[in-house]
A and B are shown apart, each in its own frame.
Chain A
Amino acid sequence: MMKTFDIFVIPFVVGMVFVLMFCLAALGRVILQMPHSDRRRLLVSLVTPQTFLRNIRDIFCDCLLHVKIWKRNPVLGFMHSAIAFGWFMIIVIGHIEVFVLQPFNDYNLSFAQDLGSKLYLPIFFRFFSPEAVSPTAKTLAFLMDFFLALILCGILTAFLKKIKSTIVGVKRITKFGFADSVIRIALWTIFPFRLAAETTQLMVFWWLYSLDLCLFMFLLPFTRYMHIPSEMLLILLRNAGIKSKSPRQGFALAEMYSCPGCGLCIDACPMSVDDEKSGMTSVYFIRNLRKNDPEKMREMAEVCLMCGKCVSVCPVAIQSCDLKMNLRKNESENLISDLSYLNKVDISENICEKGEKVLFFAGCMTHLTPRIIKSMKKIFEKAGERYEIMDSEGGICCGRPMLLAGKTDAAQAVIAKNTEMIRKSGARKLVVSCPICYRVFKEEYQLEDIEIQHHSQYIDEIISKGKLKLSRTKSRIVYHDPCELGRPFGIYDEPRHVVESCGVLVEAAQNRNMSVCCGGSLGSITMSKDKRDAVTDSSLANLMANHPDEIATACPLCLKTFAKKTDIQVNDIAELVAENCS
């Protein structure tokens, strides 16, 4: 008579029950910690057919097939999807086997036995039903073997990556603690044990297989493998349009659990250049969030340049910059600030003559590089555009540096003041020459009815309208993508068009969304000058890859930062245009 139970399945069942309970509890925590409005959003999104379909597609593509990693690095993509998709298929086919072949239906099982066996029969099917007789059974058995082989290939790749990461095209890999190392060994041995158990049918291997699964599941909640269940939740939350509002709670908790520690952010981070251990990168930041180590969390949140590159390479799209901003906000929002003097700043009523004139906001950084203001004036004049400069007398800051420092309330006061002045000016179009200002105007100001343009967009527009006559030189110019302009807004082509109409455009080694921060970023609060210099050097080396004659940027802060550290000419795109227009 065929058995339906053996004592070796117990470790697996215990582990499985534990992990299910933990995940339910974690789910409850995430949901309860979210504000009420977010819970509503989630509910609505779950019953909306469009988001429902998108959820299914995203879970399939991101959690199982790892499409994003494939695009970035096919070898890593293979490794992740072989293990994830293979494992998923083994579980699915295991259930199909039990359901379709129904070898145990003749037995009268009690309800509890039946429920318990539902858990372990698909996993240990080959033990209870070793012979595949019918053609269906044979096909299913073949599929099982195929996916097991796929997983084993994936694990082999992972093993090679561990020995020598450059084989898979990665320079630095994440360093793991004890629990993470143990669970990795557990994961890597699960499938070899299964293979051994199925082929030899020796009890010892079935025991090892079950115990190994048990170990894996007991460690899962405390290690990076928590990302397996958590990523699915994160996709649902994100598709519902929820964003993090705290550094560790609610949505942030789901993000923390969802980081698999893949380490793609390590090579990407500009802070890694100077630091062998790369200890400040986002993967370690998130780990410290999970450990809830306040000192380290703060240190890492404050040093980050907020260049956003780690977010743009992250296959899970974890918004680690948002988490850092939330943390900074908690630290600094209550600091006293006295901005009553802002009411001394003003602008004349309707200075832009109901939108007849363009309003130009230079901002603090452009005031430090008056050559950009001069060039913009020349461009306005040559193009026959009427304009006013909003802060010709100095003006005030745009508010983003304060936001970045976490002083959100004070920043709102600055934002309110500028908004009032812009409205008073009667402008319909606002041009800014600094990406830092551009970002805050776009993201935080309520100026929907006013067109806001970065000067690269504006200049590109007037060139294509034929308002400027430019003479092209033979100079080879490399364009540096400013972080605040490229990654958040995708403004990559407009400044390149402008550069191309003044000279010969060459590309840096890493450009567009992979561009390397200049090191001058106001995003970092604590980074010392030496560290910043190291970042600047590496950013310059990246720009010089194709031996350009000069550098062009679209950010006054990048300009200042580069000019200090290089002998070759650094220009803002406005200067290039002003020099070359006749």
Chain B
Amino acid sequence: MNFGFSISPSSHIMMDDVSRKRFDALKKTEPDIAICMSCGSCTATCTAGANAEVSLRRMILMLQRGKDDEALAMASRCLLCGKCYLVCPRGINTRHVLLSISKCLGHDEDI
């Protein structure tokens, strides 16, 4: 039956179960990742985002919440074009953040 609405799946995250090891490793490589204020400018301007699901803002949130695999999948679609760097009000070195996500999360065995 179609009620015209549906129930979203739960987005509940047990932070106790989340390992922040990989996020911390990432923060060491590119400390800028900690100063994001989730303004979304990067997402609004994203070249890849016009055709695929790519959002740096969400990637950073995912990482903070331990959803590493989703973040990694998103980062793998980035074109590294640098538009997000130019619009980021915090001056975050976004291309390095994106590259580091692939580098640090791409090799599980390292951590």
Binding site for B on A (CB under 8 A): 331-332, 335-339, 341-342, 344-345, 364-365, 367-368, 393-397, 401-402, 405, 407, 414, 520, 522, 525-529, 557, 560
Contact = CB atoms under 8 A, between A and B. Distances in A.
Contacts of A528: 32, 93
A368 B103 contact: no
B87 A337 contact: no
B80 A402 contact: yes
Contacts of A365: 81-83, 86
14 contacts: A335-B76, A337-B77, A337-B102, A338-B77, A339-B77, A341-B48, A364-B47, A365-B83, A396-B79, A407-B80, A525-B95, A529-B91, A557-B86, A560-B86
Given A341-B52, A368-B45, A396-B47, A401 B77 contact: no
B103 to A, nearest CB: 7
B99 interface: yes
A459 B47 CA distance: 27
Given A368-B87, A397-B47, A414 B79 contact: yes
A336 B76 contact: yes
Interface in B43-60: 45, 47-48, 50-52
Nearest to B50: A394
Given A335-B106, A341-B52, A525 B45 contact: no
A495 to B, nearest CB: 22
Q: Closest 10 CB pairs between A and B? A: A341-B52, A529-B91, A364-B81, A397-B79, A397-B81, A335-B102, A394-B50, A338-B76, A401-B80, A344-B51
Residue among B30, B47, B81 with the most chain A CB within 10 A? B81
Given A397-B47, A525-B99, A529-B91, A367 B83 contact: yes
Nearest to B49: A394
Given A336-B102, A394-B47, A364 B83 contact: yes
Nearest to A520: B86
A341 B48 CA distance: 9
Interface in B65-109: 72-73, 76-77, 79-83, 86-87, 91, 93, 95-96, 99, 102-103, 106
Contacts of B76: 335-338
A363 B86 CA distance: 14
Nearest to B92: A529
Contacts of A527: 93
Contacts of A395: 47
B86 to A, nearest CB: 6
User: Looking at chain B, what size class is its interface with the partner chain?
Assistant: 20 to 34
Contacts of B47: 364, 367, 394-397
Given A338-B77, A527-B93, A405 B51 contact: no
Nearest to B101: A335
A337 B51 CA distance: 15
A271 to B, nearest CB: 15
A341 B77 contact: yes
B82 A525 contact: no
A337 B106 CA distance: 11
Residue among B47, B48, B103 with the most chain A CB within 10 A? B47
A515 to B, nearest CB: 21
A401 B106 contact: no
A560 B91 CA distance: 13
Nearest to A391: B47
Contacts of A337: 76-77, 102
Contact of A522 (B48, B95, B103): B95
Contact of B86 (A341, A342, A344, A368): A368
Given A394-B47, A401-B80, 20 more contacts: A332-B102, A335-B99, A336-B72, A336-B76, A336-B102, A338-B73, A338-B76, A338-B77, A341-B52, A345-B51, A364-B79, A364-B83, A367-B83, A396-B79, A397-B79, A401-B79, A405-B99, A407-B80, A414-B79, A520-B86
Contact of B106 (A336, A393, A557): A336
B86 A526 contact: no
Nearest to B78: A337
Interface string B22-43: 0000000010100000000000
A344 B47 CA distance: 13
B95 A401 contact: yes
A405 B98 CA distance: 11
A365 B93 CA distance: 16
A444 to B, nearest CB: 15
A447 to B, nearest CB: 20
B103 A335 contact: yes
A525 B106 contact: no
Contact of A364 (B32, B82, B103): B82
Contacts of A394: 47, 50-51
B96 A401 contact: no
Nearest to A369: B86
A395 B46 CA distance: 11
